[in-house]
A and B are shown apart, each in its own frame.
Chain A
Amino acid sequence: MTRPVKPVHLAAHFPGVNNTTVWSDPRAGSHIEFGSFAHFARTAERAKFDFLFLAEGLRLREQHGKIYDLDVVGRPDTFTILAAIAAVTDHLGVAGTINSTFNEPYEVARQFASLDHLSGGRAAWNVVTSWDAFTGENFRRGGFLPQSQRYERARTFLHTTWQLFDSWHGGEIAADKASGEFLADPDAGRFRHHDAHFDIEGHFDVPRSPQGRPVIFQAGDSEEGREFAAADADAIFSRHSTLTAGQDFYADAKRRLAKYGRSADELLILPAATFVLADTDAQAAELAHDVRLQQVSGPTAIALLEQLWNRDLSGYDPDGPLPEIDPVLGENTTARGRASVRMHRDPMATAREWRARAAAKNLSIRELIIEVTGRQSFVGSPATIAATINDYVQADASDGYILVPHITPGGLDEFADKVVPLLQERGVFRVDYTGTTLREHLGLPPRREAHPAAARPAARARTTADGTRAAS
């Protein structure tokens, strides 16, 4: 094969509020103190990673109507922590998950524009659409948005923020002390946007930031989610980290681009990936099993089973056999605030499959859950992991990975020290940062102004969202 070698992109996901994160390990530190974030970010930057990534959930998860207590609980505000992380790093991108349902475009645009200024052009926004009424109980409007409109709102929300970002073009700030002209354009920041979701106009108050717009990520897996990404995102944070599922997803996502007049290099596919690293492959395999035992305690095994069964199974022994009773079908009332329960699309079929598997291999509940949940993406020696990651990228299973270590904050240290140098030796990963902005780290072509309404206006005319021209 003679096609050019693809560069590998790597990013670091701060360990989150899932059972992947092992809080019980003696090495596990605070999930909220700034020292943990600073350590994690500095490791990622030392390893020359593209960016640090933060997930978000706007309501604490519940199971059986009670706050879920088995995983890490609690996290910081996304914008605030990313601004602080920007203070202790120089190159690392700072990517935050921000919801398009329980926010308003003007505020989010000024937060991202500010973050981009304060980080010197390193901001990225993972646009997520969680719309549920359960989360809505924490916000002014409650659960106002039907599921069917989640991406419609996300799309128009995103386009509206683009109008706001693009309402300053750069160069408006003259700051000429001698003449007394501060602003070169008296109408800088002007915007108007009117549609079914947003009816807003005025002047945006944050001048153009280094990247102009933050890099856009998308993470939903539905058909609508994929189309949204194909139309508007710079990168997809996917859950398809295996070789074949990755290749299928990759081909699917890149195929969708043509419809939007975009080329394959305009959308990166970056799956979430976990890893277990040891000196030899055999040691890593053994360690991987120990990690799984830490990730799936007895109570966690029962809780995860309940999420599929959609009923109380607290009377079952995690070291005993699977329940004879069947899952409760219909709306999942067991677990709330958790996107993963929607992944169980046919609980009865999955339950049958799990029972068959447990019977065939004589597995207890806990052993089964260890097998069927939370696959570890990369297990092996540094050489094995470096080779596998590179092979997957070259085989178009991804453009790189967003690594999710299982220990906070040191879970990335060994990867940085042992795997990254091997990828650098292969010439597929940067030895040092060559650009200053996140867009440059990602090798993304300069962003075309995809939204016609936001195209740079000639002279002093502006265009509204529906394409009509408005003189000003």
Chain B
Amino acid sequence: MTGPESGRLHLAVALDGAGWHPAAWREPDARPAELLSASYWTDLVIEAERGGLDFVTFEDGLSLQSADPQRRDGRTDQVRGRLDAVLIAARVAPLTRHIGLVPTVVVTHTEPFHLSKAIATLDWVSSGRAGVRVRVSARPDEAAHFGRRELPAGPDARADLFAEAADYVEVLRRLWDSWEDDAEIRDVATGRFIDRDKLHYIDFSGRWFSVRGPSITPRSPQGQPVVAALAHATVPYRLVAGSADVGFVTPHDRAQARDIVAEIRRLQGSAGRTAQPVHVFGDLLVWLDRERGRAAERKARLDELAGAEYHSDALSFAGTPAELADLLQDWQQAGLTGFRLRPATIPHDLAQITRALVPELRHRSSFPEKYAVSTLRGLLGLVRPVSRYASAS
């Protein structure tokens, strides 16, 4: 009912710097001096597309990367400094053809009107492959970069940030629908470029902002670009269930995966979205080598280089591509519809995903041989919705 079509599993890769391990940039094949160049990101996305992946995500934030969730850590031994994720996605879009592009965006300090047209434009420049992963920011340092608001405090603080994110996504979605598909008419006889009855004020009014609309950007190829969110607890699960098309979750075993999926499905019901397909992807940090034991060795070596074992919110998997394929298929049985793999190192683990894991999954008929459709919604089995404002006729 609430999971999209079963059978195949969906695969995404989460791109971040030189990989997710803090010492990944020191690997011989890493390109740490090129992280701010267009060619670096283009190469990675082309590699992901070569593996037939559904989409890539681009991590982002509004402060320097930090191991400390509250403040700048001042470290000089890890990758610091980055580019705006929406712009990276747009820069890569014309150079790729099939793969979905999902930049991360902080909603707490940004304007829903600006972001709506940015993602709609990403959808235009990619011919229907845009998504956005929304995240909230409770970081005092990010708030100080904007100086515009006190972050909510007290017991409801987190819930408030996520409630605001839900309002934000509602505004994105309304703005994406604010032009009906056939609004542009170019009627020479009457001199009208558009039929203005097919453009709609969205008149959103909420606790944090109100937005009048319509968007300045016409409805994009997908109509509704894909919305994703990462979630670790009930409050963000509610955002996934109530607002998103894809949730990224971090179970550490199959039983947790089943419980999380069940909770999201339940919350979907309370949000009245039971009929909406919502993907639930498991996030995994992956170390992959065909030779048994190699991946764990690499992990140990990089942990030592970093001076501490790297702990991530997601389960860290070190093994062979075949072992990972076993795990993915097993967890798929628990109800996960796909996985977002975080390569521990780039390019090595990315290439292991595209060149070893994917062929293994194809061999098991769990992953398609090639791209069969041209939009991200299509890849995810989501229909293209008509605008909510289209008059039924």
Chain B CB within 10 Å, residue with most, of A23, A69, A72: A69
User: Which stretch of A58-66, A384-392, A407-415, A454-462 is in the interface?
Assistant: A58-66
Q: Which residues of A contact B211 (CB under 8 A)?
A: 137-139
CB atoms of B38 and A120 under 8 A apart:
yes
Q: Which of B72, B87, B141 contacts A79 (CB 8 A)?
A: B87
Decide: A138 near B38, CB < 8 A? Known: A88-B94, A206-B81: no
| B125 at interface by CB-CB < 8 Å | yes
Decide: A23 near B87, CB < 8 A? Known: A198-B147, A207-B81: no
User: Which stretch of A5-13, A180-188, A306-314 is in the interface?
Assistant: A180-188
CB atoms of A58 and B193 under 8 A apart:
no
Which residue of A is nearest B117, CB measured? A77
User: Which stretch of B107-115, B362-370, B381-389 is in the interface?
Assistant: B107-115
Q: Which of A299-329 contact B (CB under 8 A)?
A: 299-300
- 0 or 1 for each of B271-311: is its CB under 8 Å from A? (1 = yes): 00000000000000000000000000000000001000000
Which residue of A is nearest B142, CB measured? A202
Within the complex, the shortest CB–CB distance from B235 to chain A, in Å, comes to: 23
CB atoms of B62 and A205 under 8 A apart:
yes
Q: Which residues of B contact A34 (CB under 8 A)?
A: 94, 124-125, 127
- 0 or 1 for each of B57-86: is its CB under 8 Å from A? (1 = yes): 000011111000000101111111111101
Complex Cα distance, B76 from A183, in Å, reads 5
CB atoms of B87 and A87 under 8 A apart:
no
Decide: A182 near B79, CB < 8 A? Known: A76-B117, A77-B217: yes
Q: Which residues of B contact A299 (CB under 8 A)?
A: 190-192
Q: Which of B63, B91, B111, B218 contacts A83 (CB 8 A)?
A: B91
CB atoms of B80 and A183 under 8 A apart:
yes
- 0 or 1 for each of A160-186: is its CB under 8 Å from B? (1 = yes): 000000001000110101001111111
Q: Which residues of B contact A106 (CB under 8 A)?
A: 62, 145-146
| A46 at interface by CB-CB < 8 Å | no
Chain B CB within 10 Å, residue with most, of A34, A69, A205: A205
Complex Cα distance, B81 from A138, in Å, reads 31
Q: Which of B33, B64, B82, B217 contacts A74 (CB 8 A)?
A: B217
Complex Cα distance, B146 from A119, in Å, reads 26
Q: Which of A70, A75, A81, A111 contacts B125 (CB 8 A)?
A: A81
| B120 at interface by CB-CB < 8 Å | yes
CB atoms of A180 and B81 under 8 A apart:
no
Decide: A66 near B216, CB < 8 A? Known: A180-B26, A201-B144: no
CB atoms of B76 and A111 under 8 A apart:
no
CB atoms of B186 and A24 under 8 A apart:
yes
| A126 at interface by CB-CB < 8 Å | no
| A117 at interface by CB-CB < 8 Å | yes
Which residue of A is nearest B72, CB measured? A203
Within the complex, the shortest CB–CB distance from A292 to chain B, in Å, comes to: 15
Q: Which residues of A contact B194 (CB under 8 A)?
A: 67, 69, 73-74
Decide: A110 near B76, CB < 8 A? Known: A58-B216, A80-B90, A102-B111: no
Complex Cα distance, B81 from A4, in Å, reads 45
Complex Cα distance, B111 from A267, in Å, reads 33
Within the complex, the shortest CB–CB distance from A125 to chain B, in Å, comes to: 14
| A115 at interface by CB-CB < 8 Å | yes
Complex Cα distance, B80 from A237, in Å, reads 37
CB atoms of A180 and B77 under 8 A apart:
yes
Within the complex, the shortest CB–CB distance from B309 to chain A, in Å, comes to: 17
Complex Cα distance, B347 from A458, in Å, reads 38
Q: Which residues of B contact A138 (CB under 8 A)?
A: 113, 211-213
CB atoms of A200 and B122 under 8 A apart:
no
Decide: A205 near B32, CB < 8 A? Known: A87-B38, A118-B91: no
| B320 at interface by CB-CB < 8 Å | no
Within the complex, the shortest CB–CB distance from B198 to chain A, in Å, comes to: 10
- 0 or 1 for each of B110-145: is its CB under 8 Å from A? (1 = yes): 110110011011101101000000000000011011
Within the complex, the shortest CB–CB distance from A63 to chain B, in Å, comes to: 10
CB atoms of A77 and B120 under 8 A apart:
yes
CB atoms of B146 and A200 under 8 A apart:
yes
- 0 or 1 for each of B187-200: is its CB under 8 Å from A? (1 = yes): 01011111110010
Complex Cα distance, B148 from A200, in Å, reads 9
- 0 or 1 for each of A36-74: is its CB under 8 Å from B? (1 = yes): 011000000000000000000111100000110111111
Q: Which residues of A contact B32 (CB under 8 A)?
A: 173, 175, 177, 182
Q: Which of B79, B80, B109 contacts A188 (CB 8 A)?
A: B80
CB atoms of B199 and A67 under 8 A apart:
yes
| A114 at interface by CB-CB < 8 Å | yes
Decide: A205 near B61, CB < 8 A? Known: A79-B87, A84-B94, A87-B92: yes
Complex Cα distance, B81 from A203, in Å, reads 10
Complex Cα distance, B26 from A180, in Å, reads 7
Within the complex, the shortest CB–CB distance from A196 to chain B, in Å, comes to: 12
| A331 at interface by CB-CB < 8 Å | no
Within the complex, the shortest CB–CB distance from B142 to chain A, in Å, comes to: 8
Complex Cα distance, B192 from A300, in Å, reads 9
- 0 or 1 for each of B203-220: is its CB under 8 Å from A? (1 = yes): 000001111111011100
| B184 at interface by CB-CB < 8 Å | yes
Complex Cα distance, B206 from A140, in Å, reads 11
Q: Which of A170-227 contact B (CB under 8 A)?
A: 172-173, 175, 177, 180-189, 198-203, 205-207, 209
Q: Which residues of A contact B77 (CB under 8 A)?
A: 180-182
Within the complex, the shortest CB–CB distance from B97 to chain A, in Å, comes to: 12
Q: Which residues of B contact A425 (CB under 8 A)?
A: none
Q: Which residues of B contact A80 (CB under 8 A)?
A: 86-87, 90, 117-118, 121-122, 125
| A297 at interface by CB-CB < 8 Å | yes
CB atoms of A75 and B191 under 8 A apart:
no
Q: Which residues of B contact A107 (CB under 8 A)?
A: 62, 109-110, 146
Decide: A23 near B38, CB < 8 A? Known: A69-B195, A206-B82: no
Which residue of A is nearest B30, CB measured? A177
Q: Which residues of A contact B125 (CB under 8 A)?
A: 34, 37, 76, 80-81, 84
| B315 at interface by CB-CB < 8 Å | no
Chain B CB within 10 Å, residue with most, of A75, A77, A175: A77
| A86 at interface by CB-CB < 8 Å | yes
Q: Which residues of B contact A356 (CB under 8 A)?
A: none
Within the complex, the shortest CB–CB distance from A143 to chain B, in Å, comes to: 11
Q: Which residues of A contact B (CB under 8 A)?
A: 23-24, 32-34, 37-38, 57-60, 66-67, 69-77, 79-81, 83-84, 86-88, 102-104, 106-107, 110-111, 113-115, 117-120, 137-140, 142, 168, 172-173, 175, 177, 180-189, 198-203, 205-207, 209, 297-300
- Given A80-B121, A185-B76; 12 other pairs, CB 8 A cutoff: A71-B193, A79-B84, A80-B86, A81-B121, A81-B125, A84-B93, A84-B94, A87-B94, A117-B38, A202-B142, A203-B63, A203-B64
